[in-house]
Amino acid sequence: MASNYFSFKILSRDKKTKAKTGVINTPHGKINTPAFVPVGTAATIKSLTPEEIKNCGIEVFIVNTYHMIFRPGVETVKKGDGLHGFMNWKFPLMTDSGGFQAFSLGEYGPRNVSDKSENMVKITDQGIEFKSAWDGKKIFFGPHESILAQHKLGADLIMAFDECTFYPIKKSYAKRAMQRTHDWAKTCLQVKKQLNNKQTLYGIIQGSVFEDLRRNSANFFAGKPFEGFAVGSVANSREPRKKVFQVLDWTLPILLPVNKPIHFLGIGEVEDIFIAIEKGIDSFDCVIPTRLARMGWIFTKSAGLKNKFRFDITKSRYHSLKSPPDRSCRCYTCTNFTKSYLNHLFRCRELLGYRLATIHNLYFYANLMSQIRTAIENGEFLKLKQEWLKV
């Protein structure tokens, strides 16, 4: 579905896989795909300025709607000229629907601040009742409220309201949650049409680890006027890794022929990125590079698949090493500082250490995506995959 504010164009296809390059055009600029989307939970990629984010090669990141409705409030952001003006980011932005918090807070996250035994969310067919993780304040959030909130936040790419399920799960509940997601999706389309805004709405495929449910959900969304798709409820450490990618095998044959951008929610390990792109995914988001950066983990190709392409700069072995964190990297961190200095910063808990590690990790991911796009264009995607993963 193309318009004067949004378009998606496939530029090249790999002949041996489903990997492809493309470009998503938005009111705030273009996103080259495949694209990694960092997580800026509270309208910030922690510790970095917008200029630093852009200099890392990042074209888009995702902001968490749930956190925005509580702090500082969507009306405050709207008065600040939307997220773009509020945070002075002049490039594309994505927001999630808020539905993920029903999963993360209701099943695994913190409880009500006043009652330790009570879940912070209550899910009904109408929507979700949240309790603030900060003061216990109750807010009802349904599909209408989600789209209205994302409208006020003003992101370019927004998500339909969904119920993200846990694992393991009974099929009866997975089916019920999927049907809720479908019903809510219809409402999201109606609300967006009434608002007549210039945002691009993605529908989220659900169905947990059940093949028939996933196919059902993919067919449902493929037949609706969403401008993009997202594959949800698979980024859960409790789910067997095999099942995570089986979901793509079930859904992508239905979604790919529609020729709309497809986002994979919550995927960020290097190996998983190659697998997802090979199957046809256009973008994915994850906290891995930024969250681990603040813990002292530095991403580098030389660490290899066995070590998940990263090493812990806080270890004593790096205390006196004068070499850059990554000899092959041209980011600001690696061209100006040593492993010894970063080791010192983290051991002293200096804020600069978090910043420098985050800059490097974002640059690493952006550079990896650039390499992948070039490899696809040159018909060398599998060669690059083998070089990185040794498979």
Domain ranges for the chain, please list them: 7-286, 297-389
Ligand-binding site membership of 348 (annotated): no
- Burial state string for 338-363 with b = 16 or more CB within 10 A and e = fewer than 16: bbebbbbbbeeeeeebbbbbbbbbbb
**Residue 329, marked binder:** yes
Q: Is 164 annotated as a binding residue?
A: no
Work out the pLDDT band at 119, boundaries 50, 70, 90.
low
304 annotated as a binding-site residue: no
The full 3-state SS of 218-278, as one line of letters, equals HHHHHCCCCCEEEECCCCCCCCCHHHHHHHHHHHHHHHHHHCCCEEECCCCCHHHHHHHHH
Whole-number pLDDT of residue 104: 67
Per DSSP (E only), the strands in 124-177 are 128-131, 138-141, 157-159
pLDDT bucket at 110, cuts 50 / 70 / 90: very low
Coil, helix or strand at residue 28:
coil
Listed range (166-180, 286-300, 306-320, 358-372) with the worst mean pLDDT: 166-180
The pTM is what?
0.94
Task: Return the pLDDT at 167.
Answer: 82
User: Is residue 135 annotated as part of the catalytic site, yes or no?
Assistant: no
CA angle (225 as vertex; 219, 227 as ends), nearest 5:
100
- Position 120 scores a pLDDT of 66
Decide if pLDDT at 130 tops 80. Answer: no
Work out the percent of the chain whose per-residue pLDDT is above 70. Answer: 92
286 is in an annotated binding site: no
How far apart, in Å, are the Cα atoms of 375 and each of 269, 282, 338, 385? 19, 15, 31, 9
How far apart are the C-alpha atoms of 224 and 253, rounded to whole Å? 16
pLDDT score at 25? 98
Residue 104 CB coordination number (10 Å)? 16
Q: What is the pLDDT of residue 65?
A: 95
3-state secondary structure of 341: helix
* Bigger pLDDT: 233 vs 377: 377
Residues 106, 119: contact at Cβ < 8 Å? Answer: yes
| pLDDT > 60? residue 111 | no
pLDDT of residue 15 exceeding 60: yes
Indicate the Cα dihedral angle 327, 329, 333, 336, nearest 10°.
60
d(C-alpha 306, C-alpha 310), whole Å: 9
**How high is the pLDDT of residue 113?**
33
**Predicted pLDDT at 322:** 98
Query: For the chain, what percent of residues have pLDDT higher than 90?
Result: 82
Mean pLDDT of the chain: 92
Known binding residue 188? Answer is no
183 is annotated as contributing to ligand binding: no
Q: Which residue has the higher pLDDT, 196 or 383?
A: 383
Residue 29 annotated as lining a ligand binding site: no
What pLDDT does residue 105 have?
Answer: 62
Can you tell me the distance from the alpha carbon of 391 to that of 388, in angstroms, rounded to the nearest whole number?
8
More confident residue, 121 or 270: 270
pLDDT digits (tens, 9 = 90+) for 341-377: 999 999 999 999 999 999 999 999 999 999 999 999 9
Q: Which of 213, 215, 147 is nearest to 178 (CA)?
A: 213
The answer to whether residue 326 is catalytic is no
Residue 390 burial class via C-beta count within 10 angstroms: exposed 0-12, middle 13-18, buried 19 and up: exposed
Residues 6+ apart with CB under 8 A from 94: 37, 60, 61, 62, 63, 155, 156, 157, 158, 159, 285
- H or E element, residue 365: helix 351-377
Nearest to 38 by CA among 228, 260, 299, 307: 299
Whether 46 shows a pLDDT value over 70: the answer reads yes
Residue among 156, 272, 282, 285 flagged as catalytic? 285
Q: Is 100 annotated as a binding residue?
A: yes
Strand-by-strand arrangement of the 228-231 sheet = 35-38, 283-286, 262-264, 228-231, 200-205, 157-159, 93-95, 61-63
Give yes or no for residue 68 having a pLDDT over 50. yes
Q: What is the pLDDT of residue 106?
A: 52
Position 166 scores a pLDDT of 81
Record the tokens describing residue 91, joined without a space.
């490039």
The CATH number of the structural domain formed by 7-286 is 3.20.20.105
Averaged over 223-250, what is the pLDDT?
Answer: 85
Identified catalytic residue from 96, 156, 272, 282: 96
Tell which residue, 22, 109, 94, has the closest CA to residue 64. Answer: 94
Q: Which residues pair with 29 in a beta bridge?
A: 26
